[in-house]
Amino acid sequence: MGVTMTWIGLDVHARSVEASVVDAVSGELHRRRVLGSEITPLVEWLGSMPAPVRACYEAGPTGYGLARAARAAGISMDVIAPSKTPRRAGERIKTDRRDAEHLVRQLMAGSLTAVRVPSLAEEAARDVVRPGMRARASCATNDRGSVDPSSPCRQSVFCAPIGRRPHKKGAGLRLTSQSALSHTPNVTRIRARRNRPHTADDV
C-alpha cells in the first residue's frame, strides 16, 4: 500500500455512524453521518474515497464485522482499544462528531493502539464460552454482587474453575516431594547402585 490519500475516523453505533474524513492532499476535513447499521453500504462508501484509504473505529458492542468487511474490500481498517486512546485533560463534553474527529487526528499522528481482529471461528468459540462464564460468575455471587465462597454453586462441578474439580476431604493420597521422589523407579535404581559395594567390574 502506498501513501495514504484519505484518513477516516468512525464513531460507530448500532443506529448510525459518524465519519470524519481528511483529504491528505488538501488537508480538508469533511464530516458525514451514515444512518443505519448495515455494513455493506458503509464499506461501499469507504471504497468510494480516494485510495489508499486508512480508517479506524473504537472497539465496542458493534463487534468486528465492519473491520473484516473493510479489509476484504482492500481498505485498511483498524479497531482501536478505547482505554488506550489519548484524551485531552479536562475534556468532558463528548459528541459523536468530536469523537470521530479526535480518532482521525490521532490516527494521522500514529497515536492509537489497535487490537487484534479475531477470525469468525475464534469469535464463534468466544460466543459459546461466554454464557457459561457469566452463569458461573452470577451463581457464585451474593445479593451485593460480591463473591460468596459459601455458595453451594461454587462446590458444583459446573461452576468449579476451569481445570479443577471440587475437592473432597480424604480423596486421593498426597505425597511430599521427597516421598514422591523416592517412589520413582529410576531414582530407586540409582540409589541402589550408589549404595552397593564397588567390584572389579566397575573399573
Instruction: Specify whether the CB–CB gap between 43 and 73 falls below 8 A.
Output: yes
What's the pLDDT tens digit per position in 115-157? 999 988 888 787 777 666 666 666 655 555 555 555 555 444 4
Q: Structure pTM?
A: 0.63
201 three-class SS: helix
Per-residue confidence (pLDDT) for residue 172, from 0 to 100: 46
User: Of 42, 19, 43, 17, whose CA–CA distance to 29 is shortest?
Assistant: 19
Which domains are seen in the chain, by residue range? 6-109 (3.30.420.40), 130-155 (no CATH)
- How far apart (Å, rounded) are the C-alpha atoms in residues 193 and 161? 45
H/E stretch holding 34: strand 29-35
Q: pLDDT tens string for the chain (203 positions)?
A: 579 999 999 999 988 999 999 999 999 999 999 888 789 999 999 999 999 999 999 999 889 999 999 999 999 999 999 999 998 776 667 899 999 999 999 999 999 999 999 988 888 787 777 666 666 666 655 555 555 555 555 444 444 454 555 555 554 444 444 444 444 555 455 555 556 655 555 54
